[in-house]
Structure 1
Amino acid sequence: MRILDPIPLPVDGHTTPLTPDLAPDEEPNGEPNGQLRIRNVTIPTLTPVLPEPSSRTEGGPLSPAVVIAPGGGWHKLSVESEGTWVARVLTELGIACFVLHYRLEPTPAGYDGAGWSATLASLNDPAYMDAVASRARSRGADDGAAAFALVREHAGEWGIDPERIGIMGFSAGGHTALATTCDHPEAAPAFVAGIYPVAWEGITPPQPVPPLFLAWATDDGIGRSIIDSS
């Protein structure tokens, strides 16, 4: 497995270079279980996690690939449990992975622990989260589409089959995966996976519809409401 440096994605047609003098505003946000989460992503990036050449799947020299969008309620990203850990498993199967740090709700300057706790509490407010989801949809879809463009641009360099690039996402990242698929036809993912995705508002599948996998736990209230309304 080879983990490359994060690559910045364009925002409004402009790419912000990542240099020692201009780093992303991402902030680590540790959790009691020891997993790393980050918040305040204002510059979207894509981190390639590539299999060793000897691990490539059978059927040709080129690898399939997947863009992975971690979840976190659009306020943080579970970059380990829903990002690099997933990539580690898939690269062992010969699948090239790209962990997407899509833009989040900005963390206000001077935020302290109490302010962050209050923000997390607001994640249980349906009206607040509906407003957040509405803002998040377009920027997440834009970041996802930019990720596809970047992977296809470097497909030859990274040994990837440009016709076998898909996207998967967890929770809010599942929303990003679906929004990318529905709002940016040029992304044209070969497959889509939403793992306990949220905010199922107003989606129109592209034509042709790519293979789609959706999964929720049986006691997931959000998932149950989506299934019941389908």
Structure 2
Amino acid sequence: MRILDPIPLPVDGAPTALAPANAPDQHRGGQPHGHLHIRNVTVPTITPVLPDQPSGSAVVIAPGGGWHRLSIENEGTRVAEPLAARGMSCFVLHYRLEPTPRGPAGDGWSATQTAAAYPAALDAVAVRARPRGADDGAAALAYVRAHSADWGIDGARVGLLGFSAGGHVALATACDRPEAQPAFVAGIYPVAWDGIMPPEPAPPLFLAWATDDTIGRTIIDSALATYRAWWAAGGEVEAHAYPSGGHGFGAAPKGADSDRWMADFQRWLETRGHLT
């Protein structure tokens, strides 16, 4: 398995290269769970996590973080690693975020907590972030396909996986950018407040969330609304509602029912020929 350096994505309105002046802030420790997070992403990038023996399939992974930060380990590289071990080429997407204060004082968590406590506030952020996230998601898919021969990937077998706000990015990319055409979409405790209109034809969809999600009905209603929209559009959908796990479980074992999600997701991918 190889983890390569981040690759900037060509997106209108975004800088085209990483530089000290636009490098994201990083922080670790405190809430939540001591995982590594980044903030103030202004240059969208993908970080390739490549298997030793590629299956030909790939997935763009969009971490969550309430549009103010990205949980790039627990919902990024640590998710990619078990998938890459099964032959899937993975690309962790650092999509553009809402600005937060630079330095330790603006770790982004308080902004996310406040927005989560007041769904109306997060609604406004979601509406503002949706087109930007869809642009970044579509650019990631396009880049992976354009370089598919370099990485042993079949360009028709590139999907999207997103967590929380990253689930919003994945769904918005699939629904709002018809040229994106992901081979599949997966949303783990996804956010979808501002409406989901599945593309035609709708790609296969995998959903997973915990019914004790600490953000509550905001997430659960989003997951159920996405399920209903996909089903109504005639799309293939598999959904898992785990009794325990809370919000943001990602790759970290919690001794909860949600610990099964990766095994369930891998079985779902395997039946579709995406894993070795």
TM-score between both structures, scaled by the size of structure 2: 0.74
For residues 10 and 156 of structure 2, what CA distance do their matches in structure 1 show? Answer: 23
Q: Is the 8 A contact 1:155 1:161 kept in 2?
A: yes
Q: Is the 8 A contact 1:46 1:147 kept in 2?
A: yes
Q: Secondary structure at the match of 1:112?
A: helix
Task: Give the superposition deviation at 1:5.
Answer: 1.1
Task: Give the superposition deviation at 1:117.
Answer: 5.8
2:114 partner amino acid: S
1:34 partner amino acid: G
Cα distance per residue 1:129-177 (max 9 Å; x no partner): 0110011100000000000110011000111011100000000000100
For residues 29 and 58 of structure 2, what CA distance do their matches in structure 1 show? Answer: 30
Give identity over the alignment, percent: 63
Structure 1: gaps (5+ residues): 58-62
Q: Secondary structure at the match of 2:156?
A: strand
The number of aligned residues is 220
Which residue matches 2:48? 48
Q: Is the 8 A contact 1:217 1:223 kept in 2?
A: no
Given the alignment, which residue of 171, 187, 190 partners 1:194? 187
Q: Secondary structure at the match of 2:93?
A: strand
1:201 partner amino acid: D
Are 2:111 and 1:119 equivalent residues in the alignment? yes
RMSD: 2.0
Task: Give the superposition deviation at 1:200.
Answer: 3.3
For residues 208 and 23 of structure 1, what CA distance do their matches in structure 2 show? Answer: 42
Task: Give the superposition deviation at 1:228.
Answer: 5.9
Structure 2: gaps (5+ residues): 229-276
2:221 partner amino acid: S
Q: Is the 8 A contact 2:54 2:152 kept in 1?
A: no
Q: Is the 8 A contact 2:209 2:223 kept in 1?
A: no
Which residue matches 1:81? 74
Task: Give the superposition deviation at 1:14.
Answer: 6.1
Task: Give the superposition deviation at 1:15.
Answer: 5.2
Q: Secondary structure at the match of 1:73?
A: coil
Q: Which runs of 4+ in 1 moved over 6 A?
A: none
Q: Is the 8 A contact 1:9 1:15 kept in 2?
A: no
Task: Give the superposition deviation at 1:225.
Answer: 2.4
TM-score between both structures, scaled by the size of structure 1: 0.88
